[in-house]
Every structure is written in structure tokens, then in C-alpha cells.
């Protein structure tokens, strides 16, 4: 099973977003483990993740995540994040896995 980590400042907004993404993944029959994390503790989880998505407000950290060994790091578009567009975000996840 593929693992995806979704990060933002505190993890609150991404927790809501992850719930929506999981629901869409279930309807598509995908077996993906998706977890939300605040950026402050994300380093504890990046080694296990097959992909890391960053909220646009923490997109500045993309290079640091890559240097720390994170795989497939992407920044969620501002539009998708603001509208909680789980369909589009899941499409993005599928394209990098």
C-alpha cells in the first residue's frame, strides 16, 4: 500500500482535506494510506511516505523536504487547497505514484 503525507502549518486544515481525499480514494477503489501532519513534525514521517504533498502556505519548504530525503514532494495548488478539491488532489497523487 502506498503512503502519502499531507502537510500544512498546524495539520488542522490538512486533516479535513485528508478526510475528503480518503473518501474519494475509497470510491475509486484505491488502496492509499493518507496522513495529515503539521510541518513541525513531518520529518518524523517522511521516510515512510511514497509521496509528500505540501499545502501552499508551506510550499517554501519543498526543497528542504527533498534534501531531507522525502520522495515525490509536490505543492498543492492554491486553488485546489482553498476549495478542498479532493478529486483534483487525488488525481495529482495518482500521477506521482
- Is residue 7 annotated as a catalytic residue, yes or no? no
Count CA atoms closer than 13 A to 64's CA, side-chain side.
9
Q: What is the DSSP letter of 76?
A: P
72 phi and psi, to 5 degrees? 50, 55
Catalytic-role residue among 4, 8, 52, 86 = 8
Say if CB 46 and CB 5 are below 8 A apart: yes
Name the residues annotated as catalytic.
8
Amino acid at each position: 500500500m502506498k503512503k502519502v503525507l499531507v502537510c500544512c502549518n498546524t495539520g488542522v486544515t490538512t486533516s479535513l482535506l485528508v478526510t475528503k481525499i480518503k473518501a474519494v480514494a475509497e470510491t475509486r477503489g484505491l488502496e492509499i494510506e493518507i496522513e495529515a501532519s503539521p510541518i513541525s513534525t513531518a520529518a518524523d514521517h517522511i521516510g515512510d511516505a511514497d509521496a509528500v504533498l505540501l499545502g501552499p502556505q508551506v510550499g517554501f519548504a519543498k526543497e528542504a523536504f527533498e534534501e531531507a530525503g522525502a520522495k515525490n514532494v509536490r505543492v498543492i495548488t492554491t486553488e485546489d487547497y482553498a476549495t478542498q478539491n479532493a478529486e483534483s488532489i487525488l488525481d495529482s497523487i495518482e500521477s506521482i505514484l
